[in-house]
Amino acid sequence: MSYTNGTLNGHDVLQNPAINTSVDWATIEELGDLHVGTSIDTPMRDDAFEQTDGEKIAIIEKHFRQIMNTLGLDLTDDSLNGTPHRVAKMFVKEIFSGLNPANKPKMTVFDNKFGYDQILVEKNITLHSTCEHHFLPITGKAHVAYIPNGKVIGLSKLNRIVQYFGKRPQVQERLNMQILVSFAML
């Protein structure tokens, strides 16, 4: 699927006619960097993917071990001695796996053979994310809806794209925009 440039309420927008989605770039630009949710891309350094997952795990393990030592925890205890590695692996391979573009799910679309023109809704998608300000858990439900126009998206893909963008440090405004733009770009 492709997207086109168009206008909405006098603003330039990115449109995906197949699913009736528009992104108002002018409004995003108007807000600038003053609003926490205006940067659609997760703030990443240019060298973010120069290290392998294994190298990242080793570095995080070292630093998390230091945090545990600073807190006064006894890392020789059987219940704690593997914790730095488990936490580091969990950060890279699970909780923050959405930072790696290689993990983005493929978005499968199908011809709308039935000519369905009503809103399609996937409700109560379980969402687990991490607040980028405090690195504390965010847990909630997401609801995704669209009106098909020529193509429909596989329902499992709606869930997977929400999960993908949730698996990174987030603010809700950016999360919403990343989900919207991913569908607009189909």
Report H helices in the chain: 25-31, 53-70, 83-90, 155-166, 172-184
Residue 75: C-alpha distances to residues 82, 126, 131, 159 (Å): 8, 34, 28, 39
Please report where in the chains the tokens 């379980």 appear, as a residue.
126
Task: For the chain, give the percent of residues with pLDDT over 90.
Answer: 62
pLDDT at 48: 94
Mean pLDDT of 24-43: 64
Is there a contact between 23 and 184 (Cβ–Cβ < 8 Å)? yes
Is there a contact between 177 and 37 (Cβ–Cβ < 8 Å)? yes
Set out the domains of the chain in order of their start, with CATH numbers: 4-43+105-184 (3.30.1130.10), 53-99 (1.10.286.10)
Cα separation, 20 vs 179, in Å, equals: 14
Count of other CB atoms within 10 angstroms of residue 87: 19
At a CB cut-off of 8 Å and minimum separation 6, what does 152 contact?
109, 110, 111, 112, 116, 120
Please report where in the chains the tokens 């809700």 appear, as a residue.
172
Q: Collapsing DSSP states into helix, strand and coil, what is residue 164? A: helix
Per-residue pLDDT tens digits for 155-174? 889 999 999 999 999 998 89
Greater model confidence, 71 or 6: 71
- pLDDT at 79 exceeding the cut of 90: yes
pLDDT at 68: 98
